Amino acid sequence: MGLSYDDFCRLDFEEFAAVWKAYAEQRDTNYKDEWQRMRLLATIVIQPHLAKGRKVTPEKLLPFPWDHEKAKKEAPKMSAAQQRKRMEELVAKLGDKLI
C-alpha cells in the first residue's frame, strides 16, 4: 500500500478503511487496464488474417466479466412522470398514501 509503519499506526479504523478502499480500487483499475490493452493488441494482430469484410471488435474477441458489470450498473433513464408513477406503485404496495 505504500504506507510507512508510522503512518499506519496513526490511522484510525475508518481512515485505514478509506486508504485500503482507494488502494484496492487502484489495483483493480490497473489490472483491468492491462487486460484491455492486451485485448486491443490481440484484435489488431488478428484483424489482417480475417476474411475480407469481416471485422472483430475487442469485446467480441475476448469478453471480460467486467464488461457485463457496466451494463448492469447503468440504470434505465426514467422521466419525471415515470418516476412519479413508480413511486405511487411502491407506496400503494406498502398500503400507504402519497401526500
Give the closest residue to 21 by CA, choosing from 10, 13, 32.
13
CA 88 – CA 25 distance, rounded (Å): 38
Share of the chain above pLDDT 70, in %: 91
Kindly list the domain boundaries of the chain, sorted by start residue: 5-93
Q: Say if residues 62 and 42 touch (Cβ distance below 8 Å).
A: yes
Instruction: Identify the top-confidence range among 3-17, 25-39, 46-60, 74-88.
Output: 25-39
pTM exceeds 0.95: no
List, in sequence order, the alpha helices (H) in the chain: 5-10, 13-46, 58-61, 65-73, 80-93
Q: Is the pLDDT of residue 14 over 80?
A: yes
- Give residue-wise pLDDT tens across range 33-66: 999 999 999 999 999 998 888 888 899 999 999 8
At 79 the pLDDT is 86
